[in-house]
Structure 1
Amino acid sequence: MNKEEIIATVRFISQFHRARGSDEYKLLLERLKELLLSWGVEEQQIEIIDYPTGGVRYGNFDSTMVWNVKDAELWLEKPRTFLNSFKNCKTSVLFGSHSTNGWKTLELVDETYTGDLRDKAVLVQMNPSKAFKQFVEERGAKCLLVYYMRAQDESIKRTPTQMPDTVNYLSLPHTLKASQHGCYGFSLTYRQYEFLKDLANRKFKVRLFVDASLNTGTLQVLRVRFEGALKKKIGIVAHLCHPSPGANDNASGSALALYLCRELKQRRLDFGVDVILLPEFYGSLPYASQNSDYEFVINLDMVGEDQQKTGSTLILHETPPLLNTICDELLYDSLILFAPTSSDSLSRRFYRSTFKSGSDHSVFENYAVPSPFIGQWPDRYYHTSEDTPDKCDPEMFEWVGKAVLRAVELAHKVPDYVVEQALGRMKSFLRKVAGKPGSDIITSVVRKAHGEKIDPLEPKLRIFPAAEGPLGYEWFDRAGELSEKREIVNLGEVIQLAARYTQDYDATVTFASTYLNVDVKTTQDVIDLLLKNEFLKRVS
């Protein structure tokens, strides 16, 4: 593998501000198509698929508007002080910001201010979605100046005080409904936030403009198809969206997926392979609903991290055993085979884990497609202006790339020892649930997923998801104290999957709590919350 060429592709992709459906996103697709053609991929193998967005709902997700941003600047009015601009830092403008239609001069206030907010710039330190609801929807504000760092982790020096000049990638809600508020704003560094905090509510003003547009339109999925000798096929997916630079998240996965096209065109394949680049969730949801005939789909998301710089660990997130897990075992075996070593031990951090939500694999699994996820976590520079190509490690691309290719080539005839290992893990899980409520239904579903001919058992108290696709994020707003529990994100998605495939209340409780090692009471509380808010439905 030409590791340096993959890094060069990461650098190329990182130049583009990849808002889904935007002019710049479309331009990048055209350039990537040219790159594929230069590598000898035939034009008829390459397809760009359009899906409507803005005012369309996919599963539990309201699609976003197409956002095009040209320029933006933020200044303190007096004393005149430059704070940031879109040309200087692409993540400085809140994703989905509306145009200001020229320069605006607004009084600077913070979240404690109790007066009229319509002509104010509101300084906040909170999740912008929460700030949008509290200050825009409820109080009519038009401008938010936000500092908010997700996934803080002192062990990798990812805290506000340890990264005072980092600009976080943050978004405003920009669905069709949300865009009617005409809100705009900027993401601040922690140092800027502290500076402006001292000036808020003291008649100081900021001067700013945003040149952007929000429209309904389409978003694009790029698919490169390689035919195999057999009718069965495999998918390799990576999300291409996110702002510039977004090197590890996720130019890294996209660049590796593209390079794999170069390798695949030179190989005789038994199973066909589709390489799919798309906007995360919003592209995979409509795509998977129409293309669920894959044996499995490998999700490449944040695969390139230099672990010394980012503090990351490579992780294989497994498919829940509600679906066939043999492909996971094959991929794990391949990752171990090609792992870089030093003095007969791994020279990079690596482990496997249970299912984790948060990317496109959860979409495919909701459409009954096993989908192992390869990525790195945590990452000091995740969703920040400092997620740049110099944080990538060429060895990572070679390691993951070789493992994926081996898994693809052996998928039609998985080695017996790999099959035995997968079935052994499956049986071990079934022993853990034995005797618990709903275990008979779990056993039936899991064994059937692994190839046994078993008649399904009738659910006792039937529950099932209210919509196709993964659970999504809206339910967090209604989770109350539950939202403070760290396991809640993954628990919600596993509950959704268990309800989809077992369709039984007890089986869902037992599967989710046992698989994620979460207490039964918390699992029941989340299920009851989802039922109450009609994300799940119950039939007596």
Structure 2
Amino acid sequence: MRSLLLPLLLLTVSAIAQPSLKEKQYASLARKNFLETNALNTVAFVESRWRLAGNTGFNESIHLVEKQLKEAGYVNETAAPAGARLTYRIERRAMNRPAWEPVDAEVSIEGESSPVLSFKTNRNMISINSASTPEGGVTADLVLIENEEDWKQDLKGKIVMSNTDVSGVYAKAIKAGALGALGYAMPAYTQPEKYTHSIQFGSISYNKGGQGWGIRLSYAAREHLKAALAKGPVRLKVMVETKIYDSEELTIVADVRGSEKPGDRFVFSAHVQEPGANDNATGVGTLAEMARVTAAVVQSRELDPKRSITFLWGDEIISTRRYILEDSDRARGIKWGCSLDMVGEDTEKTGGSFLIEKMPDPSAVWTRGNDKHSEWGGSPLPESAIIPHYFNDLLLTRCLNEAADNNWVVNTNPFEGGSDHTPFLNAKIPGLLMWHFTDVFYHTDADRFDKVSGETMKHVGVSALVTSWLLTTAENNTAIALVNDLKSSAVSRLNTELALGEENIKKGNAVADEAHILEVWQQYYVNVMETMKDIPVEGASSLLDNAIEQAKKEIRNKKYRLR
């Protein structure tokens, strides 16, 4: 039962401070200028291309962004005058592997009129790195591998099929003399028995000069082939056409130069590779429109970022990590990093929710209440992994403010990793992920334009822009308002943890254990407050220092009794 009621703890989420005048102005500016049509047009272009670093679709997407940047007023930095505010560059690098792109494929059973699979309707059926079959395809006996004994038969000149991911059997099948391999692996959250034609993209190993091919099966295709085999021998015809060629890896980087501290920067990143619409054509399209909007309001003098804002498009994790590690001076100036990955979902169709994946906070150690890991998966972190910083709550509050008068649903998940926010965190730079999950079409060939919401892209884009504009223009008054915001967030979380602790004690949990969790959250927010001194461009004033110390004192001095 609740043993101690303190005035501060009576506050709830609804008591979160109202947006400041500056935030309201920025939000209005962003909403007025962000055009859903622009973002959707970019998505339509990008999602129609099968994108891997170095291939035609990837490079065409990069050059589309370049065209949009130039139209928005960004100048190639090689031709830009010294001190230009809007610049961009395309970075070109040799690749340590060839580029790959699919062209066509078909799998059919000899004697049947309709194919089992066709690239025209299953664009993920060809495993990445697959080579082409001889012109006209190959026809051979199909052999189902279900256990180790099945590998002992003569597989030379045959086609191997497995009930596991093709990447796990491909090399063994080729070594045994098989022509190629088929495999099935669909996670439960994709609901394969409902979406029977979905296929998730994936790869097989690449061996120069001796490459074969792998086919990824849908649930329907697997069941069809198994049913055919149950009736007797099956002759399978497989045609695969791909391109494998030397290329270069492209990354495009746009900068809005800060007027006072250009070395300090907020970095956004969106990866281009992966063939889906939501993953990640929506990230590309949302970020491109954010870059256009920022250029427009800077040129109109409605916004003057004192710190720089960087927009980066490239190969997931690789490009962002390289941006951080290649230039140590530049890295020291990166104050915040934010990844846009799967940010445009029509959640009524995908089943997912918009999420902010937080930097490791105590919810990554004790995941309970409304905190839940996504079906991507996560495991508890040690207390030593907690990173106290205001960025979690600051971005969340901006999103909640954007959602205040509409039906946009905003949630968070504890840290899991796996996208462009991780290079920032690995470099000890605050980094967050804006994304959606669970998505029944994740990585499947059903992730197409019809699952995209322009409205969602605008909500994400506006929230992200307001966050970056506040932090790159912040003076001490803004920082003090953000301290008050965060104090409200801290109170709400401590209120929640107190109630959860009392519930768990009633269920038999030890009072000491629950008290420890509450103490960790309390100290977390005390430490978070201290990090807010770096917000003002001109440095922390005595007024900000006092506001922070007062907030720390209010949080630290609250006493909780759990029983």
Q: Normalising to structure 1: TM-score of the pair?
A: 0.71
**3-state DSSP of counterpart to 2:398:** helix
2:161 is equivalent to residue 123 of structure 1: yes
Instruction: Give the structure 2 partner of residue 93 of structure 1.
Output: 126
Question: Aligned match of 2:237 in 207, 214, 233?
Answer: 207
Q: Which whole-Å CA distance do the structure 1 matches of 2:528 and 2:340 have between them?
A: 28
**Residue deviations 1:281-315 (CA, integer Å, cap 9, x gap):** 33333333225341111111111111111111111
Instruction: Give the structure 1 partner of residue 251 of structure 2.
Output: 221
2:105 is equivalent to residue 72 of structure 1: yes
Shift of 1:180: 6.0
Instruction: Give the structure 1 partner of residue 95 of structure 2.
Output: 53
2:144 is equivalent to residue 110 of structure 1: yes
Matched residue type, 1:182: Q
Shift of 1:262: 0.7
Q: Which whole-Å CA distance do the structure 2 matches of 1:182 and 1:289 have between them?
A: 34
Q: Which whole-Å CA distance do the structure 2 matches of 1:192 and 1:448 have between them?
A: 56
Matched residue type, 2:141: E
Greater relative contact order structure (CA < 8 Å, 6+ sep): 2
Matched residue type, 2:142: L
**Residue deviations 1:102-126 (CA, integer Å, cap 9, x gap):** 3222211111333233422222232
Instruction: Give the structure 1 partner of residue 366 of structure 2.
Output: none
Matched residue type, 1:383: H
Question: Aligned match of 2:203 in 168, 172, 180?
Answer: 172
Q: Normalising to structure 2: TM-score of the pair?
A: 0.68
1:2-41 equivalences in 2 (<5 Å): 2-41=35-74
Question: Aligned match of 1:84 in 117, 137, 148?
Answer: 117
Matched residue type, 2:352: S
Q: Which whole-Å CA distance do the structure 2 matches of 1:278 and 1:409 have between them?
A: 23
2:417 is equivalent to residue 384 of structure 1: no
**Residue deviations 1:114-169 (CA, integer Å, cap 9, x gap):** 323342222223233333365456x454412222213x23xxxx322111122x13
Instruction: Give the structure 1 partner of residue 412 of structure 2.
Output: 352
Shift of 1:373: 0.5
Q: Is the 8 A contact 1:220 1:283 kept in 2?
A: no
2:188 is equivalent to residue 159 of structure 1: no
- Segments of structure 1 that go 5 or more residues without pairing to the other structure are 55-63, 454-540
Q: Is the 8 A contact 1:108 1:203 kept in 2?
A: yes
Q: Is the 8 A contact 1:340 1:399 kept in 2?
A: no
Question: Cα distance 1:435–1:328, how it changes in 2: closer, same or farther (>3 A)?
Answer: closer
Question: Cα distance 1:421–1:179, how it changes in 2: closer, same or farther (>3 A)?
Answer: farther
**Residue deviations 1:397-455 (CA, integer Å, cap 9, x gap):** 121111111111111425325346658859989x999989xx9xx99xx78993899xx
Instruction: Give the structure 2 partner of residue 522 of structure 1.
Output: none
Deviating more after overlay: 64-73 vs 16-25: 64-73
Shift of 1:46: 2.2
Q: Which whole-Å CA distance do the structure 1 matches of 2:325 and 2:514 have between them?
A: 31
Shift of 1:329: 2.2
Q: Is the 8 A contact 2:278 2:447 kept in 1?
A: yes
Instruction: Give the structure 1 partner of residue 390 of structure 2.
Output: 326
Matched residue type, 1:183: G
Deviating more after overlay: 141-150 vs 404-413: 141-150
Matched residue type, 1:284: T
Question: Aligned match of 2:184 in 138, 144, 147?
Answer: 147
Q: Which whole-Å CA distance do the structure 2 matches of 1:284 and 1:101 have between them?
A: 39
**Residue deviations 1:36-70 (CA, integer Å, cap 9, x gap):** 2223332332211123433xxxxxxxxx5421333
**Residue deviations 1:192-251 (CA, integer Å, cap 9, x gap):** 2111112338432222232224455432211111111112111111111112xx111111
Question: Aligned match of 2:274 in 210, 222, 242?
Answer: 242
Instruction: Give the structure 2 partner of residue 459 of structure 1.
Output: none
Q: Is the 8 A contact 1:304 1:396 kept in 2?
A: yes
Question: Cα distance 1:410–1:72, how it changes in 2: closer, same or farther (>3 A)?
Answer: same
Matched residue type, 2:531: H
Instruction: Give the structure 1 partner of residue 219 of structure 2.
Output: 190
Matched residue type, 2:463: A
**3-state DSSP of counterpart to 1:31:** helix
Question: Aligned match of 2:315 in 275, 279, 294?
Answer: 279
2:290 is equivalent to residue 260 of structure 1: yes
Deviating more after overlay: 79-88 vs 414-423: 414-423
Q: Which whole-Å CA distance do the structure 1 matches of 2:516 and 2:394 have between them?
A: 30
Question: Cα distance 1:449–1:172, how it changes in 2: closer, same or farther (>3 A)?
Answer: farther
Question: Cα distance 1:389–1:330, how it changes in 2: closer, same or farther (>3 A)?
Answer: same
Shift of 1:259: 0.3
Deviating more after overlay: 73-82 vs 17-26: 73-82
Q: Looking at CA atoms only, which structure, 1 or 2, has the larger radius of gyration?
A: 2
Question: Cα distance 1:199–1:237, how it changes in 2: closer, same or farther (>3 A)?
Answer: same
Q: Which whole-Å CA distance do the structure 2 matches of 1:2 and 1:341 have between them?
A: 19
Shift of 1:380: 1.7
Shift of 1:335: 0.4
**3-state DSSP of counterpart to 1:196:** helix
**3-state DSSP of counterpart to 1:303:** coil
Q: Is the 8 A contact 1:325 1:422 kept in 2?
A: no
Q: Which whole-Å CA distance do the structure 2 matches of 1:206 and 1:283 have between them?
A: 41
Q: Which whole-Å CA distance do the structure 2 matches of 1:348 and 1:125 have between them?
A: 40
Q: Is the 8 A contact 1:135 1:141 kept in 2?
A: yes
Q: Which whole-Å CA distance do the structure 2 matches of 1:420 and 1:179 have between them?
A: 59
How many aligned residue pairs are there?
423
Matched residue type, 2:57: E
Q: Which whole-Å CA distance do the structure 2 matches of 1:191 and 1:262 have between them?
A: 44
Q: Is the 8 A contact 2:145 2:160 kept in 1?
A: yes
Q: Is the 8 A contact 2:389 2:528 kept in 1?
A: no
Question: Aligned match of 2:531 in 450, 461, 471?
Answer: 450
Instruction: Give the structure 2 partner of residue 299 of structure 1.
Output: 339
Shift of 1:260: 0.5
Q: Is the 8 A contact 1:119 1:141 kept in 2?
A: yes
Instruction: Give the structure 1 partner of residue 348 of structure 2.
Output: 308
Q: Percent identity?
A: 21
